[in-house]
Amino acid sequence: MGNYNSQYESYYSNLVNRKNYRGYGYSSPGRGSSNTYGSYFLRRLVRELIGVFILFIFIVACKLVSTPETASVYNYSKAIVNKNYDYNLVINDIKTFDMKKLEDKSTDFLENIKTKLTGIKPLKDRLKSDFQLPVEGSVISSFGSKNNSGIDIGVKAGTEVISPSEGKIKESGENGQLGKYIIIDHGKGIETKYSSLSEVLVKKDDVVEKGRVIGKTGDMPKSGTPHLHFEVLYMGENKNPEDYISFTRK
């Protein structure tokens, strides 16, 4: 039995090693890549079936050859198969797993490493120390609520909107979804977006300093409440502005 265990462990070790040494590649989808994946999947399936078959033969042998050792192995195997697992608990854990939190923790971890290597402050420290509020007001709609990719700050119509830090106007314009809007590139992967404006006082490629008035808020009949829609993006990903800048809440 000891010899079998070592062989079986060796078999599965080889499977794991093959997986690890295969590596992670990036390739554009195509006929060749799909055939390669299909071939790999078939080989993987065959290997798994072989492993199951080996286990089956071994268990049957333990049943047929009656010794204290084989009886012990057979009974243990039977107990494992018959054991009641709480699959609902496992499924619930999967459903409640917050991938976003894992992503944020990974980002913070990488930021800390980058800080140690380059001396550049982490994103949170940069925003908290270098950025100011674009308007003074209360948050009336939070990040993530109703698919909100930023926050809505309740202010009077015509309130001046300032640049929270120095940067360059990446875009400014108007569309049906955002109304009049502005996007500022602050460098180092940080961008801020402003929409629901009545006036845009800057144009694309303008360089703006911290505190400069870039626009004015509008009266939004559809929403019922005048506000500024404000977003913070880092490396193209929307972040919760309230995690980095202090706002009052209504």
DSSP 87-130: HHHHHHHHHH--HHHHHHHHHHHHHHHHHHHH-PPPHHHHHHHH
What DSSP designation does 198 have?
A: E
Q: How confident is the model at residue 163 (pLDDT cuts 50, 70, 90)?
A: very high
- Give the list of residues 6+ apart from residue 205 with CB closer than 8 angstroms, or none: 168, 169
**Residue 137 and residue 222 in one domain:** yes
Global pTM reads: 0.55
Which pLDDT tens digit goes with each residue over 188-199?
889 999 999 999
- Give the list of residues 6+ apart from residue 39 with CB closer than 8 angstroms, or none: none
Altogether, the residues listed in the chain come to a count of 250
Looking up residue 225, the CATH number of its domain turns out to be: 2.70.70.10
Contact between 197 and 215 under an 8 Å Cβ cutoff? The reply is yes
Contact between 242 and 143 under an 8 Å Cβ cutoff? The reply is yes
Domain that holds residue 151: 133-249
On whether residue 228 sits in a domain, the answer given is: yes
Looking at 23, 58, 83, the residue that finishes a domain is: 83
On whether residue 28 sits in a domain, the answer given is: yes
d(CA 62, CA 123): 61
Pure H helices in the chain: 2-22, 31-64, 68-82, 87-96, 99-118, 123-130
On whether residue 162 sits in a domain, the answer given is: yes
On whether residue 127 sits in a domain, the answer given is: no
**Residue 68 and residue 144 in one domain:** no
On whether residue 125 sits in a domain, the answer given is: no
Average pLDDT for 6-19: 45
On whether residue 174 sits in a domain, the answer given is: yes
pLDDT reported for residue 19 = 41
Q: How many domains, in total, are found in the chain?
A: 2
**Residue 171 and residue 64 in one domain:** no
Average pLDDT for 118-139: 81
Q: Is the pLDDT of residue 12 over 50?
A: no
Looking at 44-48, 83-87, 215-219, which range is the least confident one?
83-87
d(CA 150, CA 194): 9
Contact between 247 and 133 under an 8 Å Cβ cutoff? The reply is yes
**Residue 243 and residue 145 in one domain:** yes
**Residue 234 and residue 171 in one domain:** yes
On whether residue 99 sits in a domain, the answer given is: no
Q: Is the pLDDT of residue 80 over 70?
A: no
Handedness of CA 160, 161, 166, 167 (dihedral sign): negative
Tokens 């944020």 belong to 104
CB atoms within 10 A of CB 13: 10
Mean pLDDT of the chain: 74
pLDDT reported for residue 84 = 54
Looking at 165-169, 178-182, 208-212, which range is the least confident one?
178-182
On whether residue 60 sits in a domain, the answer given is: yes
Q: Is the pLDDT of residue 227 over 80?
A: yes
Looking at 83, 114, 144, the residue that finishes a domain is: 83
pLDDT reported for residue 110 = 66
**Residue 163 and residue 225 in one domain:** yes
pLDDT reported for residue 211 = 95
Average pLDDT for 88-112: 62
Tokens 């360089």 belong to 207
